């Protein structure tokens, strides 16, 4: 056993001794959304502590208006982190990264935290002085993250990802949809065809063909969502879908969140917007190919995932020449999943309408 491991705590720090917590999450959008469950559990364990999250330029806006976070610091590189973070006097530093890399684990050490915890993987545990959970067996990322807070005295049950929108943001979405001629009582389906890596993307022309079918056969309004980086992708989808599809491009993450909150269904790849929609309790249909499927499954009860589970999967490659795991997913099978979700949504609306009528009598 490494000498540093001999000094690890077998007993947890007193809750009253933890007044200042740093939670590292300076990576992607989906990771941050899933981490909100752990942040809520952490707040329950340490209600009087100040909770700070180290976020990235890409994902920090997910935490706006989150009552479980007191401060967000944007990561600007390791050297700036070293210069600025040690003066803050953190009692507890948490590394939630599920990776073989040592960098984030090392950051808990150089942050000067009295107590440090993360996943036990590939020797990363030498930087922690509280014994953390293992990374196996594979399960949903949110469950792995709640394993960390459980080691700190929290509970796993009852916590799930959540994001928070202000009334002004929802009103903006209502007005933006109205400008496109989409009313609140219409069945509205959102499509986000992007993903961080090319290997995670279902072909754009298939998204377009799917949208064309939904427009023609489902009585739905379909909107395309994406950032400025997705302009070419959105145009390719629209080219296949036709003019009836509405594009919302150049959207920031808060605008995407607000528009998703007004959708009845979301169709996308394994991406940050998938987990945003799930956190907003919007039913989803998603396609997962090269990534570890159990890890990135959405957490909602109304989420459907299409995955081929090929012998070469998961490869975790950013780019794949064959791309069979995504290419083998047909428009027909995605459309069948969409029809099943639409049937569920309409039945739910019908039941809700009956209960409202009954309450008015």
Domain ranges of the chain: 3-151, 168-360
Q: Would you say the CATH fold of 168-360 matches that of 3-151?
A: yes
Q: Is the pLDDT of residue 207 over 90?
A: yes
Six token digits for residue 19: 């007044």
Q: What span, in angstroms and rounded, lies between the C-alpha atoms of 296 and 291?
A: 8
For the entire predicted model, the pTM comes to: 0.91
Q: Domain 3-151 is classified in which CATH homologous superfamily?
A: Glycogen Phosphorylase B; (3.40.50.2000)
Instruction: Tell me the pLDDT tens digit for each residue of 180-202.
Output: 999 988 999 999 999 887 888 99
Over residues 44-73, mean pLDDT:
97
Q: Is the pLDDT of residue 316 over 90?
A: no
- Percentage of the residues of the chain whose pLDDT score is greater than 90: 69
Range picked from 266-280, 290-304, 310-324 for highest mean pLDDT: 266-280
Each as own residue / partner, the long-range contacts of residues 312-321 (CB below 8 Å, 24 or more positions apart, any chain) are 313/289, 314/290, 315/199, 315/290, 316/290, 316/291, 316/292, 317/197, 317/199, 317/290, 318/197, 318/198, 318/199, 319/197, 319/198, 319/199, 320/199, 320/290
Q: Whose CA is closest to 331, among 198, 197, 217, 195? A: 217
**353 pLDDT tier (thresholds 50, 70, 90):** low
State the architecture of 168-360 in CATH terms.
3-Layer(aba) Sandwich (3.40)
Six token digits for residue 43: 């707040």
CA-based angle 159:165:170, to the nearest 5? 140
Q: What span, in angstroms and rounded, lies between the C-alpha atoms of 355 and 344?
A: 17
Over residues 84-88, mean pLDDT:
87
> What is the predicted pLDDT for the residue at 355?
44
Q: CA neighbours within 13 Å on the CB side: how many for 275?
A: 27
Q: CA neighbours within 13 Å on the CB side: how many for 26?
A: 20
3 state SS of 218: coil
Q: What span, in angstroms and rounded, lies between the C-alpha atoms of 318 and 17?
A: 43
User: What letter does residue 47 receive in the DSSP assignment?
Assistant: T
């Amino acid at each position: 056993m490494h000498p540093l491991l001999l000094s690890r705590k077998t007993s947890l720090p007193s809750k009253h001794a933890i007044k200042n917590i740093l939670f590292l999450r300076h990576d992607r959008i989906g990771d941050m959304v899933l981490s909100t469950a752990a942040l809520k559990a952490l707040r329950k364990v340490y209600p009087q502590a100040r909770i700070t999250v180290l976020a990235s330029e890409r994902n920090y806006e997910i935490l706006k208006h989150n009552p479980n976070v007191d401060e967000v610091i944007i990561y600007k590189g390791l050297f700036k982190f070293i210069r600025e973070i040690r003066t803050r006097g953190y009692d507890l530093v948490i590394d939630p990264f599920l990776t073989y890399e040592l960098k984030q684990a090392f950051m808990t050490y150089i942050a000067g935290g009295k107590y440090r915890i993360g996943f036990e993987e590939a020797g990363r545990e030498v930087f922690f002085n509280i014994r953390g959970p293992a990374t196996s067996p594979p399960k949903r990322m949110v469950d792995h993250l709640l394993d960390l807070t459980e080691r700190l005295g929290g509970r796993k049950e009852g916590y799930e990802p959540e994001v928070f929108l202000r009334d002004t943001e929802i009103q903006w979405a209502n007005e933006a949809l109205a400008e496109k001629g989409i009313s609140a009582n219409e069945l509205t389906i959102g499509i986000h065809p992007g993903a961080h890596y090319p290997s995670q993307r279902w072909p754009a022309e298939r998204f377009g063909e799917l949208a064309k079918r939904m427009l023609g056969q489902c009585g739905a309004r379909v909107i395309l969502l994406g950032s400025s980086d997705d302009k070419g992708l959105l145009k390719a989808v629209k080219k296949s879908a036709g003019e009836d599809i509405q594009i919302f491009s150049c959207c920031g993450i808060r605008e995407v969140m607000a528009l998703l909150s007004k959708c009845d269904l979301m169709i996308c790849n394994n991406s940050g917007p998938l987990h945003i929609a799930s956190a907003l309790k919007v039913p989803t249909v998603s396609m997962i190919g090269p990534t570890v499927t159990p890890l990135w499954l959405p957490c909602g009860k109304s989420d459907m995932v299409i995955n081929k589970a090929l012998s070469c999967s998961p490869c975790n490659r950013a780019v794949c020449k064959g791309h069979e795991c995504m290419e083998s997913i047909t428009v027909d099978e995605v459309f069948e999943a969409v029809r099943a979700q639409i049937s569920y949504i309409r039945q739910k609306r019908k039941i809700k309408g009956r209960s409202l009528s009954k309450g008015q009598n």
